[in-house]
Structure formats: structure tokens, C-alpha cells
Amino acid sequence: MESETFASYSHHLQTVAIATIFFAICLLFPKLTYQTSLAKLPLFGNWESGEKQRQLYLNHAKKIYSAGYEKFKDSAYRVATNDGEDNVVIAPRFLPELRKLPDSVLSFPKAIDKVMEVKYTKILTDAPMIVHSVKADLTPALARLNSVVYDEVVESLSEEIPACDDWTPVNMYMALANMVAKISGRVFVGPELCRDKDYLESAIQYTMDVIEVQRSVKLIRPWLRPILAPRLPAVKRLRKREQMAEDLLTPIIASRLEAERNDPTYKKPDDMLSWFMNRSADYGGHSNALLAKFQLGLIFAAIHTTTLTGTNILYTLASQPEYAEPLREEIRAVMAENGGVITTRALQQMVKLDSYMKEVVRFYPLGVTSFTRKVLRGFTLSNGQYIPPGVTIETPSHAVYSDPVNYSETAHVFDGFRFSKIREGGKAADHARNQFVTTNEQNLMFGYGRHACPGRFFAANEIKMLVAKMLLDFDIKNEGDSQERYPNIEMGRQTSVDARKNLLLKRVQV
């Protein structure tokens, strides 16, 4: 009996041991082949080690990627980043072959998982329904919605910007965030909620709460996170915020469904909430909680990106007063031709403004790299280099924007009308390739390929209307009369405007 127990015990031990070893080999083996194939790619920028290297990357990422771009135009290489892992940088000439790879090879959501601590921020990273609805419902609706959007621009501007009879300091980032939340809210949830105090607070604060959770989770050692992270005040606040979004939407969803049941003449509202509800059946049903989650996903993708881009443009305008008049002339002339408002046609006719916005993004890009993807299955580039599974790849977009090959010998100067000059008198292809919304190998602000930003048409319209209205109504300058543009803040591959700055505004007398 004893020996039998011992035998089975030892047998059991053996199985455990073998299983463990087998498991370890399975884990290790891909790791080994991964490391050897990764090691075959040239390493660039590893001048220091440990903390020193991390600091170097955090402070000089732009320079590191530019130098790498010059050195490796025709190949992929590794770069040591600040998170202790090497990323693989892919030269833009390979982008056309990468865009053909399916999601099972290159994953956009998986690339975000770790960076954004998705386990705790719970942001929606993979929502095909949202992408589909933005493409198939929102973008085609813009032609009929633009007049509503413009009304919201005018109204929110009158609410968020003071009288400014004399030079008045305005925190541009916060003013724009409030305006963008209202304008986007009109299109995302409709008129019932878009001016609701709690909705607006959520629309602005949600992304801030997410960033705060991401930051505080990263401060905890990885193995302690499952225990400690859920107890963080920031995490609890974020869970409350999610619940609040559901509570806000629930009565609106209910009253819309009821109206639909009872009123045969009921017309569904023209907004994303309505389109999401309408697509519910195709996607296996949407609970109120899920509909709220979709709205938060939209808010995360749309509000701060649009606000940052708008601030970036206005900071540039404030330091370049010579652009105000030529831009105003175009805006006034185009509006006069279109009944005094900014219609879809008017937006298309504002080529100088479109060019200026695009040049700001080229010259002061918010971000050093684009097209970040996690490699799920290894693949081989046309030059024979093997990219192993597990790595994160990226493209050096900032370096692309400064390349004289693409932007002539004037690449290093700011030329607000660079793109409108190419478009004026140009062929159809010149028009298509030189717009704010263009995405291709040289234009990467909205990403690239299958997962390029589907919201960029809406964002471009909204920003164009906001900047046009700001220009018409106000003279804009820096505090202290400085002509120097407020510098953007750089940290690793991230770049942001300095949201704490004020601009001075003075109403244009008519």
C-alpha cells in the first residue's frame, strides 16, 4: 500500500516534472529562435546600457530615428527603446508590402495592449463594429451633417471663448477640448446628451483617467500588478467613470427604443449611438453596457487627438502672424460663395487652410513613429530579412517628413502653402496625394493601411471649421508677444503640445 502510494506519487512527480520541462521548452524554444532571428537584424542606437540608454532614448528619440532612417533606407533594424525591449524599425519603402499582410500577421490591438496596460485601463482596442460604423455610417453622413457640425462649432465657440474685446489670455487646449467634446458629442450621442454637464465632463476626463491609470500601473512591479492595481484610486475612479457612462446612456437608449416601438412615423436620430443601435443585430446584440463601452472607445480615439491637433495648429498660427490674412481671405471668399456658412463644398474649396494644417502636422508632428504593429507570425521582407513573431514594428514617420527626396530641398523650412501650391493647377492625383486626410507612405499622421484612422474625414472637417472660425473672429498671438512658437514636449517617441500655455486672443473688429 505504502509503496504503491509512493509509486503513484513519484509517478505523479515525474509527470509534473516532464510537463514542466515540456512547457518550459515550448516557451523557451520560440524565445530562442526569436532571439536569434532578432539578433540577425542590425542593432542601432545602443550606445549606452541600462538606465543611460533609457534616458538617451527618452530625450533624443527624434534624433535616433532620423539617424537610423539615413543609415537603413533599404532594410529593417532594431532600436533599443525605453521599455527595455528592442523595436524593429521598418523603412517606408517596405510599407506597400506590409499593408498586404493580414491581421493574423500584424496586429494593431496587440501592439497597444502592453503600452496602454489594457488589462487595467480596459480601453476598447479591437472593435470592428466601431470601425465599420465610422466608415459606413459616419463618413458618408458628413455631407448632410456638416451644417449641424458647423452650428455646433459656432455655438460652442461663443460659449468657450470669452469676449476678448482686448487681448485676453485663453488656455487654448482646455477651450478646444470643451469645444471638441460638444461638437463630437453632437455627432456621437445626439442633441439630448451633447450639452449635458456630466456627459461633457466624462468625454474630456475619460481619456485623462485612462492615462492616469496607465501611468500609475506602470509604477508597480509587473508581478504585483494583479494584486495591487485594482486597488489604485485611479483605477477605481476609471471603473466609476465607465458606470457613469452607462447610467447616462441608459434612459436615452430606452426612450429611443420606446419611440421606435410606439410611433410608426418615428425617424431615427442621425448620430453614432443610433447607428450603433441599428447595427446591433448584425453583431449579436448590444447591451447598454456595451453601447456605453463603444461610446467611450470613440471618445478615447477622437477627443484628445482632435484637440491636440487643433492646439498644434493654433500654436503655430500664433507665432506666424503673416499667415492670418491670406488664410482669412480664402475663408471669407469661399464662405461668400457658399451662403455665408461652411458647407461640405466650402471645406473642399479651402485648399490653403488644408495645406496649412497639413504643413503643421509635417513640421511639428505629434509623434516620432507610426504604423505600430505587433508581429503575430514571422514573415520575410522582399530584401530577405526575417521579422520574427513577438516583436513590435514601427515606421519612422518624423524622419519621412524631413526627407528632401519627398519634400524637396525645402523640407527643412515651414511652408504653409506647400501643398496648396502643388494642388493648384495640378492633376487629380496631385489633389488626392496632398490633402490633410491623405494616408500613404509619406503621410502617416493617421496611420497606414487597413487600420488607418477611419475618423480622419470627420476630424479634418471639425478642425478646419474650428480653425477657420477662430481665424475669422480673433487675432491670435503668444503671451509676452514672443514670436517663438511654444515648443512641443518630447518624451521618447511621443510628442505633445504644451497644454498649460495660454494664447492671447483679441476679437477682430468688423
Ligand X SMILES: *[C@@H]1O[C@H](CO)[C@@H](O)[C@H](O)[C@H]1NC(C)=O
Task: List the binding residues for heme.
Answer: 453
Given ligand HEM, ligand X, none, residue 65, with its beta carbon under 5 to 8 Å by kind, binds: none
Supply the DSSP string of 279-336, one letter for each residue.
TTGGGT---HHHHHHHHHHHHHHHHHHHHHHHHHHHHHHHT-GGGHHHHHHHHHHHHH
CB of 278 to ligand X, least distance (A): 4
Given ligand HEM, ligand X, none, residue 362, with its beta carbon under 5 to 8 Å by kind, binds: none
Torsion of CA 284, 289, 295, 296, to 10 degrees: -130
Q: Is 497 in the site for ligand HEM (CB under 6 A)?
A: no
Given ligand X, ligand HEM, none, residue 486, with its beta carbon under 5 to 8 Å by kind, binds: none
List Cα–Cα distances, 274 to 124, 138, 170, 203, 246, in angstroms. 19, 11, 35, 18, 15
Given ligand X, ligand HEM, none, residue 275, with its beta carbon under 5 to 8 Å by kind, binds: ligand X
List contacts with ligand X (CB under 6 A).
268, 275, 278, 405-406, 442
CB of 441 to ligand X, least distance (A): 7
CB of 170 to ligand X, least distance (A): 37
Looking at the Cβ atoms of 134 and 471, the one nearer to ligand HEM is 134
Residues contacting residue 68 through CB under 8 Å, at least 6 positions apart: 44, 45, 77, 79, 89, 396, 399
- The phi, psi pair for 395, rounded to 5°, reads -120, 135
CB of 450 to ligand HEM, least distance (A): 7
Question: Per the structure block, which three cell numbers stand in for 114?
Answer: 502592453
Looking at the Cβ atoms of 370 and 504, the one nearer to ligand HEM is 370
Q: Is 92 in the site for ligand HEM (CB under 6 A)?
A: no
Element (H, E) at 493: none
Q: Binding site: which residues?
A: 453
CB of 344 to ligand X, least distance (A): 20
Question: Per the structure block, which three cell numbers stand in for 200?
Answer: 461633457
Cα four-point dihedral sign 295, 301, 302, 307? positive
Work out which of 81, 156, 295, 306 binds ligand HEM, going by CB under 6 A. 306
Work out which of 129, 194, 245, 302 binds ligand HEM, going by CB under 6 A. 302
Work out which of 452, 465, 476, 505 binds ligand HEM, going by CB under 6 A. 452
Q: How many residues appear in the chain? A: 510
Rounded CA gap, 447 and 435, in Å?
15
Q: Is 189 in the site for ligand HEM (CB under 6 A)?
A: no
For the chain, the 3-state helix, strand and coil shares in percent, each to the nearest 5, are 60, 10, 30
Q: Is 416 in the site for ligand HEM (CB under 6 A)?
A: no
Work out which of 202, 309, 385, 434 binds ligand HEM, going by CB under 6 A. 309
CB 468 within 8 A of CB 350: yes
Closest CA relative to residue 81, chosen from 94, 68, 72, 93? 68
Q: Is 453 in the site for ligand HEM (CB under 6 A)?
A: yes
Instruction: Look up cell 446591433; give the residue.
Output: 280
Query: Could you give the angle at the alpha carbon of 310 between the alpha carbons of 306 and 312, nearest 5°?
Result: 120
Site string for ligand HEM, 96-125 (x = CB under 6 A): ------------x-----------------
Given ligand X, ligand HEM, none, residue 406, with its beta carbon under 5 to 8 Å by kind, binds: ligand X
Looking at the Cβ atoms of 365 and 388, the one nearer to ligand X is 365
Q: Rule CB under 6 A: which residues touch ligand HEM? A: 108, 130-131, 134, 298, 301-302, 305-306, 309, 371, 445-448, 451-456, 458-459
